[in-house]
Amino acid sequence: MSVLRRIATIMVKEIRDTSRDRRTLVVALLTAVAAGPIFLVLIFNLIASQADRARELKLPQIGLSNAPALMSYLVRNQVTLSDAPDDYEAKIRAGDLDVVLVVDANFAADVAAGRQGIVRIVSDRSRDRAQSSIRQAESLLRNYNRLWGGQRLLLRGIAPTVGDPLNVEDVDLATPQQSGAIILFLVAFYGLLASVMGGMAISLDTTAGERERQSLEPLLITPARPEELVIGKWLAVCLFNAIVVAITLSGFYLTLTFAPLPAVGIPFLFSAREYGRFLVILVPVILLIPAILLYVGARARTYKEAQTNVSMLMFVVSMVPAVQLFLQQKEPAWLVFVPISGQYMLLRQALRGEAISIPNLAASYVVPALLICLALFAFSRLLARESILAGK
Amino acid sequence: MIKVENLSKAFGKRREVRAVRDVSFVAPDGEITGLLGPNGAGKTTLLRMLATLVIPDAGSATVAGLDIGRDRYAVREQIGVLSDARGLYLRLTARENIRYYGALHGLTGADLDARVDALIATLGLRDLADRRAQGFSQGERMKVAIARALVHDPSTILLDEPTNGLDIMSVRALREQLRALRAAGRCLLFSSHVMQEVAALCDRIVILGEGRVIAQGTASDILSWTGAATLEDAFVTLLGTGEGLAP
């Protein structure tokens, strides 16, 4: 019984200690609470604004009255026309305007004389946001050009297709699905990241920090066994980690449920059911990462040294989902056994509303469970070693 | 009571650093035994072996009748150690620091409260008790570290250079504490490289040099044996040279 009591004592102390570390706490919670939802809102608005621009083109113009037929064509195509301000070039450079249509003053005269009328599209092509407006203006003008030319040919008894042998149809499948995929990736990625980062500060503080501030040696002289210290510390870190994950997911849930997000076709759900599934899927990561962090932290003599060692681990862990996103292949079935990859795979399945198979879920627990045992065993061996007493 | 018999410990890949060599001595209950020696004489290693943190290569030792090898955790329940490393948890209050150790030693509820309160009173920590350790001075930290080491009322107390970094007032307060513990029949083993410290406090002295026991006995034993006028002279005589000695 005293074993359990000591473990509980150690765990409570670690939690109390960390809960008073205001800076660490604020950073961890702020990242958890704010980062995901803020990102979500930004992405949603970007997609929505691109979609809006694609739907209705706002086209400031100069001299369009010289080409009344073009004007009525544009109006018929739901383009919102307006008079461009005099300083439109500066405004385009500043990003206030996407694109301005300038019709040459001699347009009518040129056309009447059988010459080409000059129409200018003024834009700044380095701006991503303006791209869809520019493309749309260009394609409208191109279509008008073809229509007009075709009518001229028809008047001369020639089929328009003679002068326009190629019919290029642009079928854009990318926009909504791709954007959805990125949000899907983001939500899954953030869930994973939270479970990786959530316990970082506390696990390093309770290992390398303990060595650095010289409180480990007195602790090791108490009757607490190394195994008890390991389990107590691990449980404390896991609890903290789980709280961070839960808060992060709540942030997503609240944002997606209640925030006035623009209506963008997203192919996924994040309701209470997905929330629960996320937690169940993330359990192995929530438990595994602290165990590894504790071991790595205990190997370092100072907090700073530990941070350096850990940053490599963090990099690898956070790259895994990104690599999976860009590979764009169907994932092999064995991937579910790989920690992080397996969770990422299951998280996306959950987001798509697919059923999570119990065998798959169980499979995703196997390797993390083994690694947890291994890491905790290694950590307790480390605490029993004489070299752990070596100072800075 | 601490009984040390032929204890040895070496470090390094080929065990080339022989920190403690064939050390034997006895530290009886109700006395303060001083471990005197220059830096690197093996004092800390010896104390760590007695605290069961470091396992001896050879020899044996008992603390309160318990073998440091076989009864590791039973020994830990008997000893209170003020080690060379004496960091506190800076975000916890003095009281919480002390309570944590009490709880790890199996104290609970009213027993724990009473014991912690008693230590806070005797060590003069009342004003500090519920402040976080963050802003404590060296002397204040030392007091908390001592309270932490004594929280389970150990029969044997090991102190590794306890006066390091303390001002005169704190040193005096510490001496009073140690004398009170001696009067209560505890066995105290006190390491130092400062002769005046040892001379002022200790009933018996074990002089260590390069990991060996060079001399042991009461201060007057050592003086008469070496024929020196002061303990400092005796110390230098015994070690052969003045090298490596702190003033």
Per-residue model confidence as pLDDT tens digits over A235-289: 999 999 999 899 888 888 888 777 666 666 565 667 888 889 999 999 999 999 9
**CB-CB under 8 Å, A13 with B100:** yes
B89 neighbourhood in chain A, CB within 8 Å: 13, 17, 213, 215
**CB-CB under 8 Å, A222 with B54:** no
Tell me the longest C-alpha to C-alpha distance in chain A: 104
Same domain (yes/no): A73, A217: no
Residue A118 in 3-state DSSP? coil
Q: Helix (H) and strand (E) counts for chain B?
A: 9, 10
**pLDDT at residue B60, as a whole number:** 95
Same domain (yes/no): A143, A227: no
Tokens representing residue B78 in the block: 């008997």
State mean pLDDT over A80-98.
86
Q: How far is A211 from chain B (nearest CA, A)?
A: 9
Q: How many domains does chain B have?
A: 1
**CB-CB under 8 Å, B51 with A213:** no
Q: Which residue of A has its CA nearest to B146?
A: A218
Span A321-372, pLDDT tens digits: 778 777 766 778 888 898 988 998 898 888 877 788 899 999 999 999 999 9
- The yes-or-no verdict on residue A389 having pLDDT over 50 is yes
Beta bridge partners of B9: B20
Q: What is the DSSP string of B148-195?
A: HHHTT--SEEEEESTTTT--HHHHHHHHHHHHHHHHTT-EEEEEES-H
A225 to chain B, any CB pair closer than 8 A? The answer is yes
Same domain (yes/no): A11, A88: no
Q: Out of A5, A217, A224, whose CB is closest to B83?
A: A217
Among residues 69-128 of chain A, which lie with CB inside 8 Å of chain B?
none
**CA-to-CA distance for B195 and A206, rounded, in angstroms?**
38
**pLDDT at residue A383, as a whole number:** 93
Same domain (yes/no): A250, A311: yes
Q: Out of A214, A216, A218, whose CB is closest to B148?
A: A218
A384 neighbourhood in chain B, CB within 8 Å: none
Amino acid, single-letter form, for residue B233: D
A2 neighbourhood in chain B, CB within 8 Å: 106
B246 domain residue, yes or no: no
Same domain (yes/no): A145, A215: no
Same domain (yes/no): A263, A385: yes
Tell me the longest C-alpha to C-alpha distance in chain B: 56
Domain extent, residue A246, equals: 2-48+175-389
Q: How far is B88 from chain A (nearest CA, A)?
A: 6
Q: How far is B75 from chain A (nearest CA, A)?
A: 9
A217 to chain B, any CB pair closer than 8 A? The answer is yes
Q: Out of A218, A222, A223, whose CB is closest to B85?
A: A218
Neighbours of A252 (CB within 10 A): 22
Same domain (yes/no): A271, A299: yes
Phi, then psi, of A22 in degrees rounded to 5:
-60, -40
**CA-to-CA distance for A341 and A346, rounded, in angstroms?**
9
- Quick one: which of A220, A196, A216, A193 has its CA closest to A206? A216
Pairwise pLDDT comparison (A159 vs B126), residue with the higher score: B126
Tokens representing residue B210 in the block: 């390069």
End-to-end CA separation in angstroms for chain B: 31
Q: Which one of A222, A303, A385 makes the best mutation probe of the B interface by having the most chain B beta carbons within 10 Å?
A: A222
Tokens representing residue B142 in the block: 């030392």
A358 to chain B, any CB pair closer than 8 A? The answer is no
- Quick one: which of A338, A341, A392, A334 has its CA closest to A367? A338
Count the alpha carbons within 13 Å of A378 in the hemisphere toward its beta carbon: 15
Q: How many domains does chain A have?
A: 2
Tell me whether residue A41 is exposed, middle or buried, using C-beta atoms within 10 angstroms of its C-beta: 0 to 12, 13 to 18, 19 or more.
middle
**pLDDT at residue B246, as a whole number:** 43
Which of A136, A151, A171 terminates a domain? The answer is A171
Given a contact cutoff of 8 angstroms between Cβ atoms, the answer to whether B39 and B193 are in contact is yes
Span A209-240, pLDDT tens digits: 999 999 999 999 999 999 999 999 999 999 99
Q: Which residue of B has its CA nearest to A20?
A: B91
**pLDDT at residue A181, as a whole number:** 64
Same domain (yes/no): A340, A204: yes
pLDDT tens series, chain B, 247 aa: 999 999 999 998 888 889 999 999 999 999 999 999 888 889 999 999 999 999 999 999 999 999 999 999 999 999 999 998 889 999 999 999 999 999 999 999 999 999 999 999 988 899 999 999 999 998 899 999 999 999 999 999 999 998 887 888 888 888 998 999 999 999 999 999 888 888 889 999 999 988 999 889 988 888 888 888 887 788 888 877 544 444 4
Given a contact cutoff of 8 angstroms between Cβ atoms, the answer to whether B19 and B45 are in contact is yes
A218 neighbourhood in chain B, CB within 8 Å: 81, 83, 85-87, 101, 145, 148-149
Given a contact cutoff of 8 angstroms between Cβ atoms, the answer to whether A197 and A31 are in contact is yes
ipTM over 0.90? The verdict is yes
Tokens representing residue A111 in the block: 């056309």
Given a contact cutoff of 8 angstroms between Cβ atoms, the answer to whether A204 and A303 are in contact is yes
**pLDDT at residue B61, as a whole number:** 96
Q: Out of B81, B88, B104, whose CB is closest to A9?
A: B104
CATH of the domain at B48: 3.40.50.300
- Please tell me whether the overall predicted TM-score, pTM, comes out greater than 0.95 for this model: no
Mean pLDDT of chain A: 84
Count the alpha carbons within 13 Å of A367 in the hemisphere toward its beta carbon: 15
Domain extent, residue B159, equals: 2-239
B96 neighbourhood in chain A, CB within 8 Å: 13, 16
- The yes-or-no verdict on residue A174 having pLDDT over 70 is no
**CA-to-CA distance for A193 and A195, rounded, in angstroms?**
5
A223 neighbourhood in chain B, CB within 8 Å: 73, 76-77, 104-106
Q: How far is A386 from chain B (nearest CA, A)?
A: 6
**CA-to-CA distance for B154 and A288, rounded, in angstroms?**
39
A222 to chain B, any CB pair closer than 8 A? The answer is yes
**CA-to-CA distance for B198 and A155, rounded, in angstroms?**
120
Q: Hey, CA dihedral for A353, A355, A360, A361, is it positive or negative?
A: positive
**CB-CB under 8 Å, B88 with A2:** no
B51 neighbourhood in chain A, CB within 8 Å: 221
**pLDDT at residue A286, as a whole number:** 94
A9 to chain B, any CB pair closer than 8 A? The answer is yes
Residues of B with CB under 8 A from a CB of A: 48, 51-55, 73, 76-77, 79, 81, 83-92, 96, 100-101, 103-106, 108, 132, 145, 148-149
**CB-CB under 8 Å, A213 with B104:** no
Same domain (yes/no): A263, A382: yes
B247 domain residue, yes or no: no
Q: How far is A219 from chain B (nearest CA, A)?
A: 8
Given a contact cutoff of 8 angstroms between Cβ atoms, the answer to whether A134 and A58 are in contact is no
- The yes-or-no verdict on residue A163 having pLDDT over 80 is no
- What's A120's DSSP letter? E
B63 domain residue, yes or no: yes
